[in-house]
Amino acid sequence: MVRFQTMTPQEYKTNHRNFKIIYGFYPTPFGNCLIGITSTDNAIIYLGFVDKSNKEALTELKSNWPFSELIKNIGNEINEIIEKIFFKQISTNDSILVLMKGTEFQIKVWKALMFISDGTTITYEQIAQNIGKPKAVRAVGNAIMKNYIAYLVPCHRVVGKSGSNKYKWGTKRKENLLIHERKYINI
């Protein structure tokens, strides 16, 4: 079960000294990833797949959280989180905390993604309707594109009305994520 904490960009500017970001690079069934968690409550603030260099991925993490100090992981906290996310089915007894920083609209879109069933897809248009903004399809697409917590905030479950299958971390990976999820449906 994924639990949400949210903050606006302004709240981040005001409160960024309250936590540091612990980060690390880890292998997953879908390729290497970079994960960042808060030093206070291990909330995931970034989870992205690394297809380029580690340095480029770290630059993206830093650009999303520019005021926070980054500390390379030396403990086991992140290992346990990675294990929960990618190497076993998350049960209702498990809890993974994410901290999403964005506008009110973006947060509404990201929360709506959490209601898409594992292994299924819906359109950007359906998301816009689900959040009560049926004409905001393009804005929904932009918000989804700015999701910086891959897999857990499942933007990979959204497709274009025409069937387009874009994904920040590659369409093949998107297909593999959906196939992986389908393995656990009705277990």
Q: Which residues are catalytic?
A: 155
Half-sphere exposure of 8 (CA within 13 A, CB side): 6
- With the C-alpha atoms ordered 11, 12, 14, 19, is the resulting torsion angle positive or negative? positive
Strands of the chain, DSSP E: 2-7, 21-26, 33-38, 44-49, 70-72, 96-101, 122-123, 158-159
Separation of alpha carbons 62 and 101, rounded Å: 13
| Nearest by Cα to 117 from 107, 129, 126 | 126
Separation of alpha carbons 50 and 52, rounded Å: 6
